Amino acid sequence: MHDLNSFKRDMLVVIAGMDNPKGTELTAELQEHYPEEITAGRVYPQLDDLVEKGLVKKGKKNGRTNEYRLAGRSVRDLQDHREWENQYLAPIDELSTWQAVT
């Protein structure tokens, strides 16, 4: 997980929240989050890299369309990453409350 760029990490997060998405569904979800255009030319090579790294499993939906799901390793990696983020982001709750008061 440490060797992934933020876009690939975001791809894993979106895949985790969807039910075996197709590449087009994943692209549409990412487009909702990013201000710049998210193209298939950006998504599919990075998906292939995640598959090669063993972080994503690629299967067939209806015998022809690819679908994607997290490999067990990525679930653990995402959980570890979330714990690490929470360690640093927890003070934001306190900061937000303090700023609202001032």
Give how many domains the chain has, as a whole number.
1
Residue 75 structural domain = 6-101
The whole-model pTM stands at 0.84
The closest alpha carbon to 29, from 64, 83, 68, 82, belongs to 68
Q: Is residue 19 part of a domain?
A: yes
> What is the reported pLDDT for 89?
87
Please give the Cα distance from 102 to 94 (Å, whole number).
13
pLDDT, tens digit only, all 102 positions of the chain: 778 999 999 999 999 999 999 999 999 999 999 999 999 999 999 999 999 999 999 999 888 899 999 999 999 999 999 999 998 888 877 766 656 555
> What is the reported pLDDT for 51?
96
> What is the reported pLDDT for 61?
81
Q: Is residue 1 part of a domain?
A: no
